[in-house]
Structure formats: C-alpha cells, structure tokens
Structure 1
Amino acid sequence: MALPKQVPPFQETSPCGKYQRLHAELVDPSDDLMVQWKAEGQRRSGADGAPVPWLNLTAHTRVPMVCQRCLSPVDVALDVDRWFRFVADETTAASEDEEAEEDVLVASRDFDLHALIEDELLMEIPVTPRHEVCPAPARFSAVDPDFDASENAKPNPFAVLKQLKPNEDK
C-alpha cells in the first residue's frame, strides 16, 4: 500500500492558557487570548529516493507585552511559518541540522505537537517588545521630586561646622 504524498491539514484555535510557558511571559494574561495554528504533513523523496516525512507548521497569536521604550502595554503579533523534516534518530538530526535550511526533528511516537507550537511561538517573542510609535512620549529622566526635596532639606555640613567655630569678633 502506497503512503499518501500529502496528509490533510490539522488546524485548531486554542486558548493561550493551554501553553503555560507562553502564558507566563504575558504582561496581562487573559482567557480570551487565542492561538490559531495549522499543521500539514507531506512525504517527499529523500536523497536515496525513500519517502521522508515533512511538517509545515503555521501559528499566529497576538500577546500583551510591555513596551521597552515607554513601559506601557503593547500587543505583539507572533507569527510562525516553519518547515520541519523528520529523521530516524538524534545522531542523524544532529549531523544534518547544521547544514539544512529546514529544522530537523526526530520522528517519535510520543511527538508533542503542542510543545512544538509553544516552542516556536516563544522563539518569536521579540527581545525588546515595543510600539512602532509609542502612544505617549518616553521618559528619559529618572528624577524623583521627593528625593530632590529630601536632599534640599538636609543641612549643609559646612554650615554646621561654621556654627561650632568660636566667634572671632570678641
């Protein structure tokens, strides 16, 4: 029996809370945040002509983060569109992954697609999330009026010493 060249896509929209590590990165996690994803398998001919399983994964979500410029909330789009090629073992994966354009994964019966989706979304989080244009100007000063007021209220140590000096007018 010949294996099909194309496997029908599997897609789902699931709550962001299902992905605990991603959920922990959010500034304001809510139950209505959703992750949309689609996984589609293919069999392609390998170098030796034998069929090789491939997976195309696309995923999208918008997550609340903190803008690193103005420190206010910003919604960040996370978009994944990646191809994965499956190999038989870790040794093959390690040797082929460096040279391959696609990501190389080990085929396994206990493959966790949701963990792969979460890993890929986590890698899409920008190092410094920020607005294209911040809604309010960023503050570039760390002036604290209370701190300045307490500094001004302290007596000058030289003025205190001057009071201890004997009066020379006598």
Structure 2
Amino acid sequence: MNKPHDGQPDLRRLDLQRLADDAAELEGRTPLTDLDRLTADAAPAGDGAVRWSLAFERRSVAGGRADPWLHLDAQATVRLTCQRCLQPVDEVIGVQRSFRFVADEAEAERLDGAADDEDVLALPPRGRLDLLPLLEDELILALPLVPMHEACPEPLPHPADELDEAPAAHPFAALAALKQQKP
C-alpha cells in the first residue's frame, strides 16, 4: 500500500529514488507567484495557488530493472483575457500526467520516441528532482489556446447593428454642395 508522506516537502529537491522506493504520496499547495513563466501570461485567480498531488512508484520493465515513476495531478485557477469580449475570464487548468525516469538523456530519448503513451525523462543529477519547472511546464501546456467566457458578461456589438446606423457623410459632400451654390 502507498504510504503518505508527512509535511510539505521541498519541491526543488525531491529525492526521487527514495520517494519511489517508499511508494510515497505527497500533496500540497504552491503559490502561483512561484511560477514566473506561467504568471507572465496568466494572472493568479481564485485562491492564487496550485493544488497538487504526487504519487511515486517503482515499476518493473523488461530486463528486470524497476524504474521510478512520478504521477502528477495539479489544478489551478488563472485569469486570462477573453478573446471575444476582451474582459478578464477565470480559467481552471488541470494536469494529470505520469513520468517514467531512466538513467540518462540518451535512454530517455530512445524510449520516448518508442513509447506510445509514456513520458520518459532522464533522472536528475544525484536523483534530486526540482518539481517546480516540470509542474510549471505542464500547467503552461494546459492553458487554453483561445480563452473565452461561455457567455460574455456584456453583450457584444453585432455587425448587423452597425449597418442599421445612418451612413457616414461622404467627406467631399460639403465641397460638392459649395460648388453647386456658386452663381
């Protein structure tokens, strides 16, 4: 059975091998302001935090070795600009991903191309994983391409409404009238 891990860990120095050996489960919250690249495009909204949970395991593969795996589940609310009405819109973004860690970059590249549904990463130096860049990358990828309200808060002008208005005066109409008045 998986063992819960006590306290909030240092997400910048997770001991990936030990956590996988312990089949640890972690959960917590991280302020969105800790994720500079994400907040450059999306302002914090809601409670201003990313809620995340991590589950680690060792899974056997062909050849008898057991690789460490990380299962990531994260959710946050960010404020974007609606592309229809240009007003702020709060979007809930979420991530559910699993990552397999292997010995080095060469093996990760070889396996990532061959694996259908696996995301394969190289083990970090000394087995210490900095989770924040990985978490931030995944949340950035989860941002909507075109954020929009389901129903914009203010009615949008319709092109048909603009046609109902009186046509604009021709800029040279006044000159033509003056020419016609000359004796």
TM-score, length basis structure 1 = 0.77
Equivalent of 1:105 in 103, 118, 121: 121
Give, in whole Å, the separation in 2 of the partners of 1:20 and 1:9: 26
Q: Kindly indicate whether the alpha-carbon contact (under 8 Å) linking 1:16 and 1:31 is maintained by their aligned counterparts in 2.
A: no
Higher RCO structure (Cα 8 Å, ≥6 apart): 2
| C-alpha spacing 1:139/1:99, structure 2 compared with 1 (3 Å) | farther
Structure 2: segments with no counterpart, 5+ residues: 1-17
Give, in whole Å, the separation in 2 of the partners of 1:75 and 1:127: 14
Shift of 1:135: 2.6
Give, in whole Å, the separation in 2 of the partners of 1:54 and 1:34: 25
Computing the radius of gyration over CA atoms, which structure comes out larger, 1 or 2?
1
Matched, 1:131 2:149: yes
Give, in whole Å, the separation in 2 of the partners of 1:60 and 1:81: 9
Matched, 1:35 2:53: no
Give, in whole Å, the separation in 2 of the partners of 1:61 and 1:29: 8
Shift of 1:140: 4.5
Structure 1: segments with no counterpart, 5+ residues: none
Matched, 1:9 2:25: yes
Shift of 1:75: 1.0
Q: Kindly indicate whether the alpha-carbon contact (under 8 Å) linking 1:15 and 1:31 is maintained by their aligned counterparts in 2.
A: no
- 3-state SS in 1 of match to 2:24: coil
- 3-state SS in 2 of match to 1:9: strand
Matched, 1:156 2:173: yes
TM-score, length basis structure 2 = 0.72
Give, in whole Å, the separation in 2 of the partners of 1:71 and 1:65: 9
Equivalent of 1:53 in 68, 81, 99: 68
Shift of 1:87: 1.1
Partner amino acid for 1:76? E
Name the Cα RMSD after superposition.
Answer: 3.0
Q: Kindly indicate whether the alpha-carbon contact (under 8 Å) linking 2:58 and 2:68 is maintained by their aligned counterparts in 1.
A: yes
